[in-house]
Amino acid sequence: MKYTTSLISFFAVLSQVNAKDVGLSLLSDLINAPWCNNSSLISNKYEWDTIGYGEMYWDDQGYASRCFVTRKDEYEMKLYTYFIPSLEDTTELIFFGLLKHCVDTEDKVIILQKNLIQFLEKEDFQVSSVKKDYHGWGSSYWKNVLEIRRANLYGLTYYRLDRHSKRYCVKIVLNHEEGDKYKVPNYEDYEGKTYEMYSSKMSGNLVSALETANISAIIGEDNWHKVKESSEISKGCSAISEKRCISINGLMAVFERLDTENFKEDLPLCLLFKDYIAEYIFLKINYTRKLTLEQKEWFQKNKISFVYSPLGDCYHYTHNLLFDLKINFPDSHWGQLAFLKLMFVGFDPSHICAEGSEQWSKVLTEGKTFLDKYSNSPFVVDVLFLMGEAEETVFTLGLTRNDEVYVDWTKYIDKNEESRVNALKYYHQVLKMPSGKKYENRLKYILPRLKTGVSTGNKRYYCIYD
């Protein structure tokens, strides 16, 4: 991918700018930055601090690969780089930047913003009132919000009262149009499709297997239709009419009909379906925010385990049926799917970190054992991917210097490079397999960072309950 620029040399000081006026000089440097070019072109005119992705806690552009920051006379300028999504290349370009300055009073910040706007207009920027509502950190407090644009650069200027420092801060925020394709991953590609098999929705294969087992005759045609409807809309189910979704009592009745007599030919399938039904029961209970004594007794009778989460004021089914399936039927298709679903949550479905923080360790240990025993399993590619995420977690933890409240990052420094290499090894194995194609849309965002040692920010297998 080639980018050319006709911009003047980066950070050239325009003759009409007074050298003493730091704000206008910095603004000139910002608008003439090497947009759509590599960060290596950033001038050494200033001293720059570099912040990696994993350290951008509550920052302006969370998915940027790196942020270059310089400060001068209480002004702060930032330039953000982004990797172009790719399975092969590691192209990292500048697509976003901002200038910020804070003063003591609102009168001063109004004058300051006016001066900056006048300078932008002299540099051929169009400045106009906003044409839509903008949302961002503290956007409800933004004042005098204006749109700015010049050719393929566009953005905003506004000021607001900083609640912590009690000072008024003005911001000039600039984006390059080319970066709009890359700055924020498409959620459906990056998350939704990648992890669809682990959701509360029953897969097509499971539905087909249940229908082959004549499930409608076991639980009733109407109940089967409503269970499938509940699966399709999953967590949204409880908020809609009971005509479409089966009730809690209805789900309990379905569960009780799923005994071994009805599934003589496929007990693992029975256990897996019971696990889904138990999960749907808790989804509905958490919607109502009520767990009755009668329901507690029913769970105990049917050996369904759960925990209470004080922070969420809700109850989490701990999927003991999946553990039973994994342990008792490890060679079966459904037993291996149960293993995978448990691996996805770090073998701790409690949601309260009941097994501790370092889930990555068990994921790697159990994953290696699975690969040794079941090298021909259809789930090998998925196990390899999740092992890659476990190694990626350790790599990220070693770069998370700003998160010491939750992570003692010094514990992971020695493991950092080895984990990076291992993560790449697992991901490359995934991509070599025909069934690994489903992971390409996520890995094209991850691989450029791993290859260059930039944090991916992925801490999937480090559990934090707060």
Rounded-to-integer distance, Cα 95 and Cα 38, Å: 10
For the segment 301-319, the average pLDDT, to the nearest whole number, is 94
Model pLDDT, residue 200: 86
Torsion angle, alpha carbons of 381, 382, 388, 391, to 10: -130
- Say what the pLDDT of residue 138 is: 67
**276 contacts 325 by C-beta, under 8 angstroms:** no
Name the nearest CA neighbour of 180 among 93, 243, 291, 296.
93
pLDDT at residue number 259: 83
HEC-encoded secondary structure of the chain: CCCCCCCCCCCCCCCCCCCCCHHHHHHHHHHCCCCCCEHHHCCCCCCCEEEEHHHCCCCCCCCCCEEEEEEECCEEEEEEEEECCCCCCCCEEEEEEEEEEEECCHHHHHHHHHHHHHHHHHCCCEEEECCCCCCCCCHHHCEEEEEEEECCEEEEEEEEECCCCCCEEEEEEEEEHHHHHCCCCCHHHHHHCCCHHHCCCCCHHHHHHHHHCCHHHHHCHHHHHHHHHHHHHHHHHHHCCCCCCCCHHHHHHHHHHCCHHHHCCCHHHHHHHHHHHHHHHHHHHHHHCCCCHHHHHHHHHCCCCEEEECCCCEEEECCHHHHHHHHHCCCCHHHHHHHHHHHHCCCCCCCCCCCCCEHHHHHHHHHHHHHHHCCCCCCHHHHHHHHHHHHHHHHHHCCCCCCCCCCCHHHHCCCHHHHHHHHHHHHHHHHHCHHHHHHHHHHHHHHHHHHHCCCCCCCCCECCCC
Q: What is the pLDDT of residues 96-125, one digit of tens each?
A: 999 999 999 999 999 999 999 999 999 999
What tokens does 80 get? 């953000």
Which one, of 92, 86, 73, 85, lies nearest residue 20 by Cα?
73
Which tokens is 379 given? 């789930």
Question: Exposure string (b/e) for 273-303, b if CB count within 10 Å is 16 or more?
Answer: bbbbbbbbbbbbbbeeeebeeebeebbeeee
The residue ranges of every structural domain in the chain are: 22-184, 185-306+316-342, 356-466
The tens digit of pLDDT for each residue in 141-196 reads 899 999 999 999 999 999 999 888 899 999 999 999 998 887 766 666 666 677 88
Task: Give pLDDT tens digits for 192-213.
Answer: 677 888 888 899 999 999 999 9
Residue 335: predicted pLDDT: 97
Q: Which residue has the higher pLDDT, 40 or 56?
A: 40
Cα-Cα-Cα-Cα dihedral sign, residues 126, 128, 131, 137: positive
Q: Residue 232 pLDDT > 80, yes or no?
A: no
- β partners of residue 68: 50, 79
Read off the pLDDT of residues 271-287 as tens digits, 9 standing for 90 and up: 999 999 999 999 889 88
Specify the pLDDT at position 70.
94
Whole-structure pTM value: 0.86
- Which band of pLDDT confidence, cut at 50, 70 and 90, is reported for residue 41? confident
Average pLDDT of the chain to the nearest whole number: 87
- Token pair, residue 312, equals 């969420």
pLDDT at 455: 87
Angle between helices 267-288 and 204-212 (to 10 degrees): 120
pLDDT digits (tens, 9 = 90+) for 321-337: 999 999 999 999 999 99
CA atoms of 408 and 251, how far apart (whole Å): 44
CA dist 186 to 24, 41, 197, 372, Å? 36, 29, 18, 35
**By C-alpha distance, which of 140, 252, 269 is closest to 208?**
269
Angle of the 248-257 helix axis to the 267-288 helix axis, nearest 10: 160
Residue matched to tokens 């922070």:
311
pLDDT at residue 409, rounded to an integer:
83
pLDDT beyond 70 at 267: yes
Question: What pLDDT score does 164 carry?
Answer: 85
**Edge-to-edge strands, sheet with 168-176:** 49-52, 66-72, 75-83, 92-103, 168-176, 153-161, 143-150, 126-129
Q: Which of 113, 116, 164, 111 is nearest to 138 (CA)?
A: 164
